[in-house]
Amino acid sequence: MKIGLDARIAYYSKRGIGVYANELIGHLLKIAADEHEFILLKSIKDKDSFNEYKKTVRIKKMATPAHNRFERILLPLEMSKVKMDIFHHLDLVTPLVKKYKTVLTIYDLYFLKEKGYLEKRSQAHYGQIAKTASLAKHIITTSENTKKDVIELLQIPENKISVTYLASRRNFFKTDSLIARKALKEKYGIDKKFILAVGAIEPRKNLQNLISAYKKIRSGLGDDHLLIMAGEKGWEYSKILSQIDKENLKTHVLILDYVSDPDLNLLYNTAQALAYISYYEGFGLPPLEAFSCQLPVVASNTSCFQEVLKDAAILTDPFDSDKIAQALYSVLTDTDLRQNLIRKGLEKLTEYSWDKTARKTLEVYKKIS
């Protein structure tokens, strides 16, 4: 088979769907480059991604940017001379391509369930999904929860949908905590204990309720516990800053913006807990990354979390700051609970791997060929 992979998203995003693109493509090439011909559609601006595979893959540079509301029309024009049997689009909205069998990955449909989580430009882009999902020969979701949403919200038959879970990466691992603390202090000036939140600083990540919960437990923890947020400044970032100011927590809440994987590994290895209490996620990579670093996790009990994490994390109501506070305080103060969560987290990691993700994706290609 000649399989086209839309690798443009690897340039657009370094987290979430960008991680998915990098890991899926890399593992597909490792296990199947001898059997199939792969064509990567890279952003013309991308000078770094997938260069190690130049000898085993064809690379085509595309001027059409990823995550663009007009790419459904523009990308097919650029692709018109590229011969392939299957095209796998990794960014939710499939282009208007009829000459190839198209596979589409849908991570989540939160933007259809709750309109207030996206700016208008992104809503316009994502809003095309209802019209384009039906054009795909097959759809991949990253959880059974998203599969259920695709069936209910997009009216896609179940036999056209496959689930491929994601995984942690080798970038995240347990390291010497003293060395990690020293490195973190030298680079960021952090020398206190802290709760860590990872992800874009935007409303869907539920950071305002986390800030309220953090304030409620500060008196019990003392001033030596910070709340650190590591993530790109997203839509309505100013509301998070206003919440911090309102709660008089400017010296206790630190926003680091985007951090590199090595620095994020340091944070996972020195934090006291990961708070990942998004209202909605399609899979959620940070909890698995935390498990890799033996860091206990408090997560939401909504969307995919019960399915993906089960009892390896404390799951709580993301809409109730009191319950978030109780969950965090328990994890921070109960030594037996912490050790139990660390053990279960390591066990949970064994269920997921990028090799499995790639092999199940390859099965989809073979099924529709």
Note whether 342 and 334 are within 8 A (CB): no
Q: What does each C-alpha distance from 191 to 181, 223, 226, 251 come to in angstroms?
A: 7, 12, 10, 13
Given the structure tokens 């944070």, which residue do they identify?
267
The pLDDT assigned to 116 comes to 63
The rounded distance, in Å, linking the Cα atoms of 140 and 219 is 46
* Helix (H) or strand (E) segment spanning residue 317: none
**Phi, then psi, of 59 in degrees rounded to 5:** -115, 125
The secondary structure of residue 107, as a DSSP letter, is -
Starting at the edge strand that comes first in sequence, how are the strands of the sheet with 101-106 ordered? 58-62, 37-43, 2-6, 86-89, 101-106, 138-141, 161-163
The pLDDT assigned to 70 comes to 80
- Coil vs helix vs strand at 208: helix
The domain made up of 177-349 is a member of CATH 3.20.20.20? no
The pLDDT assigned to 352 comes to 98
Residues whose CB is less than 8 angstroms from the CB of residue 292 and which lie 6 or more positions away in sequence, other chains included: 168, 172, 173, 174, 268, 349
Q: Between vectors from CA 117 to CA 132 and to CA 163, what angle results, nearest 5°?
A: 50
Q: Which amino acid is it at 293?
A: C
**Phi, then psi, of 296 in degrees rounded to 5:** -65, 150
For 340: left if phi > 0, alpha if psi spans -120 to 50, otherwise beta; the answer is alpha
**For 2-167+353-368, which CATH superfamily applies?**
Glycogen Phosphorylase B; (3.40.50.2000)
Domain map (residue ranges) of the chain: 2-167+353-368, 177-349
For 206: left if phi > 0, alpha if psi spans -120 to 50, otherwise beta; the answer is left
Given the structure tokens 């019960």, which residue do they identify?
306
**Phi, then psi, of 134 in degrees rounded to 5:** -70, -20
Note whether 283 and 244 are within 8 A (CB): no
User: One digit per residue, pLDDT tens: the chain, 369 residues?
Assistant: 999 999 998 888 878 888 999 999 999 999 999 999 999 999 999 888 888 888 889 999 998 888 777 888 888 888 888 899 999 999 877 777 678 899 999 999 988 877 666 666 666 677 778 778 888 999 999 999 999 999 999 999 999 999 999 999 999 999 998 999 999 999 999 999 999 999 999 888 999 999 999 999 998 887 789 999 999 888 788 889 999 998 999 999 999 988 999 999 999 999 999 999 999 999 999 999 999 999 999 999 999 999 999 999 999 999 999 999 999 999 999 999 999 999 999 999 999 999 999 999 999 999 998
The rounded distance, in Å, linking the Cα atoms of 154 and 109 is 10
Q: How far is CA 329 from the centre of its chain?
A: 26
Alpha-helical segments (H) within the chain: 9-12, 17-32, 71-79, 110-113, 120-126, 129-132, 144-154, 177-188, 207-221, 237-246, 261-270, 286-292, 305-308, 321-333, 335-349, 354-368
- Among the listed residues 249, 317, 265, 241, the one whose alpha carbon sits nearest the alpha carbon of residue 328: 317
The pLDDT assigned to 181 comes to 95
- Among the listed residues 62, 138, 144, the one whose alpha carbon sits nearest the alpha carbon of residue 104: 138
Q: Look up residue 248 and give its two tokens.
A: 């008089």
The rounded distance, in Å, linking the Cα atoms of 358 and 369 is 17
Given the structure tokens 């893959």, which residue do they identify?
57
